[in-house]
A and B are shown apart, each in its own frame.
Chain A
Amino acid sequence: MGGGNEVDFMIHGIVKYNLFGQELWLTTTTVGMTIITVLLLILAFVASRTMKTATDIPGTFQNIVELGVEMLEKMTEGILGKSGRRFANYIGTIFLFILFCNLSGLFGLRTVTADFGVTFLLGLVTFGIVQYQGIKNHGVGHFTGLFQPLPILFPINVIGEFANPISISLRLFANMLSGVIIMGLWYGMLPIFVKIGIPAALHVYCDVFSGCIQTYVFCMLTMVYVNDKL
């Protein structure tokens, strides 16, 4: 989102390549996701190395890591109860990934989660975990449960199952996209003197506040859906 009087909030293609006769693009989203993944990997390596040499009196970084892990366990055990520990890994991973993606708009990247391809994939993973837990814990009852309480409600129950991933992914996508559009319009259409200082407040609302809330909501709803099938 550079200067100039051009409104720009679209995803841009960078490199074109062909795969099985299909024309595919590496986009700005791919670049942002790669940067975030590398950042998270470095963070994970440093954190695990710190915890291997953990001391009784924790240093700054060790304190932060311990605080994060404690908050994660409180969050998962608050909803999932005893089996919260099993899902703490997955919830922690998507929490950090979505949080970094939502905040990436602050660092000059196009916000990664403002691309429906990313959020829909996250929703599909949630859907897969929910269905797997349902089949594992209820067996055939997972499918006969669709005919409860009346067999005539079967279509509505099926739609209800498939609506979950679409609704959570669209919620995350639309929230971040609205932020990207507002910032793009502000930077693109207004004269230069309102582009100094004022966008900071908008960034705090659209990127930081909205991003953190939506991260929390996505993880919360994932846990609620999983909890229904336990």
Chain B
Amino acid sequence: MNFSGQDFIYGCSAIGAGLAMIAGIGPGVGQGIAAGFGCSAVGRNPGAKSDITSSMLLGQAVAETTGLYGLVVAIILMFVKPFG
């Protein structure tokens, strides 16, 4: 079996794309914590449910950003092939 240097770089790019998606752990934990605190806030003050829900969703969407940066890095490695 013969490898060219090009193939090696593509393989390493694919591994790097997989590693970049480890960034998905952080937003998962963060969104879970936000949802948990949102639930406890609704339990304490059911009247403010709509306000709590909207600010919780806004915070979760912002917290999601770091995971999406990981996704962008992975997609660039897979499809744009900057090192090929």
Chain A contacts to B: CB under 8 angstroms: 167, 170-171, 173-175, 177-178, 181, 213-214, 216-217, 220-221
Contact = CB atoms under 8 A, between A and B. Distances in A.
Nearest to A209: B57
A87 B62 CA distance: 22
Contacts of B64: 171, 175
Nearest to B79: A10
A121 B34 CA distance: 31
A170 B72 contact: yes
A178 B71 contact: yes
Contact of B68 (A170, A213, A216, A220): A170
Given A175-B64, A177-B75, A220 B69 contact: no
A171 B71 contact: no
Given A167-B65, A170-B72, A174-B69, 7 more contacts: A170-B65, A170-B69, A171-B68, A177-B75, A216-B57, A216-B58, A220-B58
A171 B65 contact: yes
B68 A174 contact: yes
B61 interface: yes
Contacts of B68: 170-171, 174-175, 178
Q: Is the interface of B mostly helix, strand, loop or mixed?
A: helix
Name, among A171, A177, A216, A220, the residue most crowded by chain B CB atoms within 10 Å (CB to CB).
A171
Chain B interface size range? 10 to 19
Contacts of A175: 64, 68
Nearest to A116: B72
Interface string B41-84: 00000000000000001100110110011011001000000000
Contacts of A174: 68-69, 71-72
Contacts of B71: 174, 177-178
A50 to B, nearest CB: 29
A213 B65 CA distance: 13
26 contacts: A167-B65, A170-B68, A170-B69, A170-B72, A171-B61, A171-B62, A171-B64, A171-B65, A171-B68, A173-B72, A174-B69, A174-B71, A174-B72, A175-B64, A177-B71, A177-B72, A177-B75, A178-B68, A181-B75, A213-B57, A216-B57, A216-B58, A217-B58, A217-B61, A217-B62, A220-B58
B73 to A, nearest CB: 10
Contacts of B61: 171, 213-214, 216-217
A10 to B, nearest CB: 8
B27 to A, nearest CB: 11
Nearest to A10: B79
Nearest to B65: A171
